[in-house]
Chain A
Amino acid sequence: MSRTPLDTVEHAAATPDVELPWAELGLKKDEYERVVEILGRRPTGAELAMYSVMWSEHCSYKSSKVHLRQFGEKAPESDALLVGIGENAGVVDVGQGYAVTFKVESHNHPSYVEPYQGAATGVGGIVRDIIAMGARPVAVVDPLRFGAADHPDTKRVLPGVVAGIGGYGNCLGLPNIGGEVVFDACYQGNPLVNAGAIGVMRHEDIHLAKASGAGNQVILYGARTGGDGIGGASILASETFDDAKPSKRPAVQVGDPFQEKLLIECTLEAFREKLVVGIQDLGAAGLSCATSELASNGSGGMRVTLDDVPLRDSTLSPEEILMSESQERMCAVVEPGKVDRFLEICAKWDVIATVIGEVTDGDRLEIFWHGGKIVDVDPRTVAHDGPVYERPYARPDWQDVLQADDAGKLPRPATGEELKDQVLRLVGSPNQASKKWITSQYDHFVQGNTVLAQPEDSGMIRIDEESGLGVAIATDGNGRYAKLDPYTGAQLALAEAYRNVATTGARPLAVSDCLNFGSPEDSAVMWQFAEAVRGLADGCRQLGTPVTGGNVSLYNQTGEAAIHPTPVVAVLGVIDDVARRTPVAFQEEGQLLYLLGDTREEFGGSAWSQVVHDHLGGMPPKVDLERERLLAEILISASRDGMIDSAHDLSDGGLVQAVVESALLGGKGARLVVPDGLDAFTFLLSESAGRAVVAVPRSEEVRFNDMCGARGLPATRIGVVDGDAVEVQGEFTLSLAELRETHEQTIPSLLA
């Protein structure tokens, strides 16, 4: 069999009629025609590889872009924002000269295929985003969604994902301080593995991804390039060349956390010595993404010799090299005079580093292979001028039916005994049960700066040992609420994460999000997406917390069945002195329990409706962001002035869930009295937003009450920390031992 000639630019120009497998690579006909129009000829195989991967939904945000613009347009004025959307990760000023960068991303599909490696490389990818900003990673968080807890496939996926997150994060020496685990049958076949990371740096150390200055050298460093994660490129390669290949299957990406640790240290040392002009991590779309983004963010010109890329598999074709998603690689742009020092540092850390090209004064990205020019494009057309779709969206017909199916009509417990029984079922249900079995597989305390970790309301890390300055992060997202009303659901996710940060005593500053939805080609899903983005953007403006970046994951669906719309929102906050933090656990007997906020009859999408009635319908709880802001101010002031000793936000499962968690964590019970104007059921199980329960030392009661009164926040005394049971007067008593047994056995018995 004769080998087809190298598909160079000249060859492509001379053979306009060659058919390329653009459809197999995921391009639509009009998209391919647009590529031909941009280039004025047919693309080479390598160019087609680049365009197809960079114009994919994942890289180009082609369906979501038109909606995501709202995050910029509606962004609130914020002095805290140093770097906004569009960079590898947003950067926030937290005072004392420190800046914090954080971001949440999805690694959903790879984690379904190979749970351990999928989740591990998810952590690796988000950590490299943080390093690329010049920050030292200090913590990770992991919001997770799985199918039904008792489904056999959950037993395959969950332990692998948890082990992968733990294995990679623990090896890197990064504490895992938060996240969530939620089970719902809608995630069967489409588990959500979102990963977030936080990094810390000094203001002057912020680095942006760009390549400017002709003559500057492009250095690829980190792992060798192999066939990892190549999907369509293999098709392309096999159609273009007839070489026998070991495997045409897309190879699962395997993470190497030690290599990543070396990358962190090596990159930060190069930054410290000011050797780096621009930098980019290699994630999805690998070198295609790194070269085109670096070039287009700089002056535009770059020349790359692909033969110089260190390979793990010498049979890779140039298309595959360009599309490979091998992990633990980064690309830096370095001035010629500093290249030697940069390579020296890499050698010291045992990191392979190779000059693969240079910045040119033109505006073309040119890539060479075996002496032939196989790519000659305007990098902006690859990186930024991808297709943008105004996908049709329409409120689905079933939305009205769903919302009319009011959860308030569900039969409620008639007696104290029945209420007790339902409360027990609730706290022992997979979603409300203790996640200790999962989170204890992660190292929370490595590095010695962890102040709070799961199951606290937010994770908290000290960033300055002298002053005690710290940051807190919480991630939340309730797909059930969002399904009932995506606009409100997104705001509830934001409100909950915001409230969680404030509950621990930190001041919320900024937001990152990971928007997990079904197929954008379904107008109902697109409507959910549009509504959720609108809700989130409006909410962020009102709360004064800008969205700094994030990620969109679409096509989370199997056949016709999409997942619940699941906007996961991460809120970052700052606390001046971590010694002032507020924990969840009850601290001392005799302290008074106060319920802050208003409790209404709100059961739509509630944990109770799911656990007791397997029901999803009605409207989610109302959102009042002004109230959230006021509640946050009170919680932060009370924490700073020592007026409260513990606090817990109220969300799914309502008051009783919060009190049980605080009691179990503190090993101290509570006596509760149903306040006037509420029935016991609503008091315990409603999921009205904007609420928290706090424990106030008796000596602080007057001061605390005065503060709430003066600021107009309803504060109702509901009981006292006492004994070794949770007692609701006139209704029921549940011993801590029984509650603990129920709350902590569920997950191990299902998964261990």
Chain B
Amino acid sequence: MARVVVDVMLKPEILDPQGQAVQRALPRLGFDGISDVRQGKRFELEVEGPVDEAALARIHDLAESFLANTVIEDFTVKVEEVAEAAK
């Protein structure tokens, strides 16, 4: 079994009100030195069967058409091995 992670981020030039809110809260809470925060979404997809090129292409499609709004967001797809005996 493998896990594929899709990270979705607003494109750099797009305003990110949530990230800004976090960034503004940081100094108020005493955390200095952070000049910018951008917030995104992480999807963890558990894939049945082998994660071959065809599977990745399918995931790329679903990310492009469903998980990300490519008008304003970018996404990356990466494979993450799931350790069987985790923890």
B17 contacts A252, C-beta separation under 8 Å: no
B15 contacts A226, C-beta separation under 8 Å: yes
A114 contacts B71, C-beta separation under 8 Å: yes
A327 at the interface (CB under 8 A from B): yes
A258 at the interface (CB under 8 A from B): yes
Residue of B13, B15, B16, B21 touching A246 (CB-CB under 8 A): B13
A251 at the interface (CB under 8 A from B): yes
Given A114-B69, A350-B24, A256 and B15 contact (CB-CB distance below 8 Å): yes
B86 at the interface (CB under 8 A from A): no
B14 contacts A252, C-beta separation under 8 Å: yes
B17 contacts A259, C-beta separation under 8 Å: yes
Residues in chain A within 8 A of chain B (CB atoms): 113-114, 117, 223, 226-228, 246-247, 249, 251-254, 256, 258-259, 312-313, 326-327, 350
Dominant secondary structure at the A interface: loop
Q: Which residues of B contact A258 (CB under 8 A)?
A: 17, 21
Residue of B13, B69, B71 touching A226 (CB-CB under 8 A): B13
Q: Which residues of B contact A114 (CB under 8 A)?
A: 69, 71-72
> A45 to B15, alpha carbons, bound, how many Å?
26
Could you list 17 A-B pairs, sorted by A, with CB under 8 Å?
A114-B69, A117-B72, A228-B14, A228-B15, A246-B12, A246-B13, A249-B13, A251-B11, A251-B14, A252-B71, A252-B72, A254-B15, A254-B16, A254-B17, A254-B72, A258-B21, A313-B13
Residue of B12, B20, B69, B71 touching A247 (CB-CB under 8 A): B12
Q: Which residues of B contact A228 (CB under 8 A)?
A: 13-15
> A117 to B71, alpha carbons, bound, how many Å?
10
- Chain B residues within 8 Å of chain A by Cβ, number: 14
B15 contacts A247, C-beta separation under 8 Å: no
Q: Which residues of A contact B21 (CB under 8 A)?
A: 258
Give 3 closest A-B pairs by Cβ, nearest first.
A256-B17, A254-B15, A227-B13
Min distance, Cβ A315 to any Cβ of chain B, angstroms: 10
What mask results when residues 1 to 38 of chain B are scored 1 for a CB within 8 Å of chain A, else 0?
00000000011111111001100100000000000000
Min distance, Cβ A175 to any Cβ of chain B, angstroms: 22
B15 contacts A312, C-beta separation under 8 Å: yes
> A117 to B17, alpha carbons, bound, how many Å?
12
Q: Which residue of B lies closest to A223 (CB)?
A: B15
Q: Which residues of A contact B11 (CB under 8 A)?
A: 247, 251
Given A114-B69, A350-B24, A251 and B13 contact (CB-CB distance below 8 Å): yes
Q: Which residues of A contact B17 (CB under 8 A)?
A: 254, 256, 258-259
Given A113-B71, A114-B72, A254 and B12 contact (CB-CB distance below 8 Å): no
Q: Which residues of B contact A113 (CB under 8 A)?
A: 71
> A312 to B17, alpha carbons, bound, how many Å?
12
Q: Which residue of B lies closest to A227 (CB)?
A: B13
Query: Which of A227, A228, A252: most chain B Cβ within 10 A?
Result: A252
Q: Which residues of A contact B20 (CB under 8 A)?
A: 256
> A74 to B21, alpha carbons, bound, how many Å?
50
Min distance, Cβ B24 to any Cβ of chain A, angstroms: 7
Min distance, Cβ A261 to any Cβ of chain B, angstroms: 12
> A258 to B25, alpha carbons, bound, how many Å?
14
Q: Which residue of B lies closest to A230 (CB)?
A: B13
A326 contacts B15, C-beta separation under 8 Å: yes
> A251 to B72, alpha carbons, bound, how many Å?
8
